[in-house]
Amino acid sequence: MAPTLLIAENLPKLNYAANAERFDLTWEAPLSTLLGLGRAAGADLVEFFLERVSYISCLAEQDAITSISPKLSTGAGVRVFRGKADCYVSTNDLSFTGLKAALEKALSILGLDLPVPSAHVPEICLELLRDYATARSKDDWLAASSSMQEMGDVLLGASDRLGRYGSHVQSRRAMYFRDWQEVLVAASDGTFARDIRLTQSVGGSLLCADGEHRTSIGKRDGNTSDPSFLRQWNYDAFAAEVAESAGKMLYADYVESGTYPIVMANHFGGVIFHEACGHLLETTQIERGTTPFIDKKGEKIAHASLTAWDEGRTTDAFGTIDMDDEGMPTQRTLLIENGVLKNFLSDRAGSMRTGHPRTGSGRRQSYAYAAASRMRNTYIAPGDYTTEEIFSSIDQGIYCKKMGGGSVGPTGEFNFGVDEAYLIENGKLTKPLKGAILIGEAKEIMQKISMCSQDLSLAPGFCGSVSGSIYVTVGQPHIKVDVITVGGR
């Protein structure tokens, strides 16, 4: 352990022996010294984020493994705050010298000078290491994950079943990835925390064609925290579901453009709430002034039937984390209750700049990015209706069973494709439809979600924003939207 008070000119002579194979207590001394150096230079707050990653993806096309892509990386980022301004610098050099150089660069960008050689540099007193990885038996997760042989066998089995169950199959694919991450966060406010994350996703897709009729259907499953996830995946049932959807949509009629009441399915149907509303409740949007809800906390922004949550605690969900990327323990955050806006999602910088309290939502793709306010598991809560009651309330409308891709404007304007849809007539599903595109605006559609069923279901997803691409969960029960514009033919 370094002395309690160091002289600035002696810092280059220090030789810390931090563990290169694991983020443990040996990192306390060098990080507390560097944090003290940043504070002595005039920074209001300094934060280090250290990361190790072991990633692999595997792709099966037809009856062959066509791609295996591994990635190993190690790095760190340092963020320096001065007032409401901040600067972020990343590096691959985790030596004391390398981390010190990154800190000096960040300080200089904010106009801060290192202390004079004779100045004292007090080390920061960090909390006792909060080691979620060890406390929750995560240290052996990587070793217990599926081998490359297992990956190949499962994906080839899934691709084979897609071919067996599908009709008029032009191509079939099955894909899997495993992302293992160890992180350590240390900050001059005393934060000192470590965690391990294990995120896995597996899925497949079918492209079917018969003359002028074509359809493409895909699906993914995801998991955090279970090394045996791939071994337990029921790819037979998965392939049967995808093939059934593809068969129904191959000869579906095109939807006619117009305005309709719609029923949106649970599970991945929640992607519209995530994209069109969830992002507008992040403090990054408040900082930019691009959310229509900027001054609406405590006011009604949605139909009284709608309650929505963002949280990081649901077992095995894609956005579940024990701590965020700023070392704050995760929590459940009530976003909307009975239509009333209750909270925004805030990271450290967002809290400093907007005054909204931190919610354990500071997330980033990797050490190359500064953390920002981001969603975790975001979903509309179950309501009071049955699915039968929702369908029976519609004389003529559209059932959106599987959502596809789409785009969202900076203030909530959106359009989303529907991969699998059906006409609703007199409360019953009749013929399949394709080509439907849902078009709307967040602040309007939230007022039109008038019925929510009791069958909440969650789905894995990926979210891109200012701090890179992260893993999230979307979800909802079946919901009724009273009226929405539907693009088609």
Q: If pLDDT is split at 50, 70 and 90, which confidence band does 3 have?
A: very low
Please state, for a pLDDT cut of 90, what percent of the chain lies above it: 91
Q: If pLDDT is split at 50, 70 and 90, which confidence band does 289 have?
A: very high
- Environment class of 475 (CB within 10 Å of its CB; exposed 0-12, middle 13-18, buried 19+): buried
Which of 3.90.850.10, 3.30.160.100, 3.40.47.10, 2.60.40.10 is the CATH number of 141-182+197-252? 3.30.160.100
Mean pLDDT of the chain: 95
**Could you report the per-residue pLDDT of 202-225, keeping only the tens digit for each?**
999 999 999 999 999 999 999 999
Q: Choose among 373, 381, 307: nearest CA to 341.
A: 307
Please check the confidence at residue 66 and state whether its pLDDT lies above 50: yes
294's CB contacts (< 8 A; 6+ apart) are 285, 286
Structural domain boundaries in the chain? 5-55+62-135, 141-182+197-252, 258-487
* Encoded tokens for 460: 């894995």
Q: If pLDDT is split at 50, 70 and 90, which confidence band does 8 have?
A: confident
pLDDT of residue 12: 78
**Could you report the per-residue pLDDT of 107-151, keeping only the tens digit for each?**
999 999 888 888 888 889 999 999 999 999 999 999 999 999 999
pLDDT of residue 170: 97
Cα-based torsion angle of the residue sequence 391, 392, 393, 397 in order, rounded to the nearest 10 degrees: 50
**Could you report the per-residue pLDDT of 350-404, keeping only the tens digit for each?**
999 999 999 999 999 999 999 999 999 999 999 999 999 999 999 999 999 999 9
pLDDT of residue 6: 80
Please check the confidence at residue 259 and state whether its pLDDT lies above 60: yes
What's the CA gap between 397 and 425, in Å, rounded? 7
Please check the confidence at residue 2 and state whether its pLDDT lies above 50: no
What average pLDDT does the segment 5-33 reach? Answer: 88
pLDDT of residue 146: 98
DSSP assignment string, 135-166 = HTT-TTHHHHSPPHHHHHHHHHHHHHHHHHH-
Please check the confidence at residue 1 and state whether its pLDDT lies above 50: no
**Could you report the per-residue pLDDT of 303-320, keeping only the tens digit for each?**
999 999 999 999 999 999
Q: If pLDDT is split at 50, 70 and 90, which confidence band does 5 have?
A: low
What average pLDDT does the segment 57-84 reach? Answer: 97
Write down the pTM of the prediction: 0.95
What average pLDDT does the segment 323-327 reach? Answer: 98
**Could you report the per-residue pLDDT of 398-429, keeping only the tens digit for each?**
999 999 988 888 888 999 999 999 999 999 99
What's the CA gap between 272 and 275, in Å, rounded? 5
Please check the confidence at residue 67 and state whether its pLDDT lies above 70: yes
Please check the confidence at residue 155 and state whether its pLDDT lies above 50: yes
What's the CA gap between 272 and 414, in Å, rounded? 8
pLDDT of residue 273: 95
What's the CA gap between 393 and 387, in Å, rounded? 10
287 to 317, 349, 352, 364: CA distances (angstroms): 29, 10, 10, 18
